[in-house]
């Protein structure tokens, strides 16, 4: 079986794609998998690190506002379509999978025009533009939230949840390894800050402003800042002079990070929400307000409405987030309630279910 998996741009697209690929290989090790991403985007580094081949397209996204950058969009799109057609012709896949992001558009369109069955995986509670366009040709659409028939034909939809990396499912077995990796003390509460693969300025500035409060409370902070903020974070920690604050530009061992966390502060991207459900960690979500169609708020509310997470608004986070985090860490009853409820929303078999749908299309 030959499968092309296309898309990327963010960890929220890349890691579900890798999870699907891993599951396909687990079911049948002879499966040949080729990834297609966007040149210059993070998938071109993350996918080979996971052990898979990836080819790049020169595609870029179109800006929603009027900008000179949009002038080059038609040419790059045309070049990407030609390149995608060549990739499909050379690899001759049995099925093509799109996980969202720039590259999935040209590739899935090229595959559809060749009569190759396609599957879309939509991570969010509000469908992305690329997936909405591609849905007319897709044979199957795997979604993470109910009610997605507002965007897609109901007869194509399969509710699977979002696939996450297999190591996340065994995070609870990594507590000691996590403490060693992050150099943590066993008798102190630990707060994990994750703002997505690129970091989140609001979260970073909110945490930066409250570092002394965490130190005074004896709280250890494992802080993923993203590459743009890391030097500023390190400078702030150096000024503070406390070993309790641990800044990292990127955390690869997320299973170990979740394992040591007594509570988590996170954006509400689809992948982060799915991982939090799976590991059952009490969480404070700060949705990115500029996300397309405000889909991160919709993702967050799917938990908040079930009393499975707390929400802090982005515009008030600098004043409220640190206090909310400290209050949560000081309230073991609420942490246990949130942990219990969020686990009920987990879909641990998502990657296997999607892989099975892919296999069905090849038959």
Q: How many helices (H) and strands (E) does the chain have?
A: 15, 13
Q: How far is CA 127 from CA 176, 237, 349, 357, in A?
A: 39, 39, 22, 20
CA distance 320 to 83: 48
> Is 165 assigned a ligand-binding role in the annotation?
yes
> Is 272 assigned a ligand-binding role in the annotation?
yes
> Is 124 assigned a ligand-binding role in the annotation?
yes
Q: Which helix (H) or strand (E) holds 269?
A: none
> Is 210 assigned a ligand-binding role in the annotation?
no
> Is 205 assigned a ligand-binding role in the annotation?
no
14-43 as b/e: b if 16+ CB within 10 A: bbbbbbbbbbbbeeeeebebbbbbbbebbb
Tokens describing residue 305 = 């409405």
> Is 174 assigned a ligand-binding role in the annotation?
no
> Is 61 assigned a ligand-binding role in the annotation?
no
CA distance 251 to 11: 12
> Is 221 assigned a ligand-binding role in the annotation?
no
CA distance 213 to 178: 24
> Is 6 assigned a ligand-binding role in the annotation?
no
> Is 78 assigned a ligand-binding role in the annotation?
no
Greatest Cα pair distance, the chain, in angstroms, is 63
> Is 280 assigned a ligand-binding role in the annotation?
no
Mode of pairing for the β-strands spanning 263-266 and 118-122? unpaired
> Is 285 assigned a ligand-binding role in the annotation?
no
> Is 273 assigned a ligand-binding role in the annotation?
yes
- CA torsion through residues 185, 189, 193, 194, sign: positive
> Is 77 assigned a ligand-binding role in the annotation?
no
CA distance 110 to 316: 45
CA distance 310 to 295: 17
| Residues annotated in a binding site | 10-12, 124, 165, 197, 251, 270-275, 296
| Residues annotated in a binding site for UDP-N-acetyl-alpha-D-glucosamine | 10-12, 124, 165, 197, 251, 270-275, 296
């Amino acid at each position: 079986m030959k499968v092309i998996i296309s898309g990327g741009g963010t960890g929220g697209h890349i890691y579900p794609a890798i999870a699907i690929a891993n599951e396909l290989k687990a079911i049948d090790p002879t499966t040949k998998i080729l990834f297609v991403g966007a040149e210059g985007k993070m998938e071109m580094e993350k996918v080979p690190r996971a052990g898979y081949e990836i080819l790049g397209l020169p595609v870029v996204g179109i800006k929603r506002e009027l900008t000179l950058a949009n002038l080059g969009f038609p040419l790059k799109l045309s070049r990407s379509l030609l390149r995608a057609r060549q990739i499909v012709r050379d690899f001759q896949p049995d099925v093509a999978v799109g996980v969202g992001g720039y590259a999935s558009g040209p590739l899935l369109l090229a595959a559809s025009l060749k009569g190759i069955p396609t599957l879309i995986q939509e991570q969010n509670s509000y469908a992305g533009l690329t997936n909405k366009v591609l849905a007319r040709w897709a044979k199957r659409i795997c979604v993470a939230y109910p009610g997605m028939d507002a965007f897609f034909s109901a007869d194509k939809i399969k509710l699977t949840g979002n696939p996450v990396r297999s190591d996340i499912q065994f995070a609870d077995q990594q507590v000691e390894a996590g403490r060693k990796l992050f150099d943590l003390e066993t008798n102190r509460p630990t707060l994990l800050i994750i703002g997505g693969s690129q970091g989140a300025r609001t979260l970073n500035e909110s945490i930066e402003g409250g570092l002394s409060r965490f130190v005074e409370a004896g709280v250890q902070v494992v802080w993923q800042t993203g590459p743009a903020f890391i030097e500023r974070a390190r400078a702030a920690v150096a000024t503070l002079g406390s070993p309790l604050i641990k800044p990292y530009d990127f955390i690869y061992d997320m299973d170990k990070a979740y394992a040591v966390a007594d509570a988590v502060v996170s954006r509400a991207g689809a992948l982060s929400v799915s991982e939090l459900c799976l590991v059952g960690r009490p969480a404070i979500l700060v949705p990115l307000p500029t996300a397309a169609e405000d889909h991160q708020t919709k993702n967050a509310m799917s938990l908040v409405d079930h009393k499975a997470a707390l929400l802090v608004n982005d515009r008030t986070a600098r004043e409220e987030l640190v206090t909310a985090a400290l209050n949560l860490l000081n309230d073991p009853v609420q942490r246990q309630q949130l942990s219990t409820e969020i686990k009920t929303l987990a879909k641990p078999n998502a990657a296997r279910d999607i892989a099975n749908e892919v296999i069905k299309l090849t038959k």
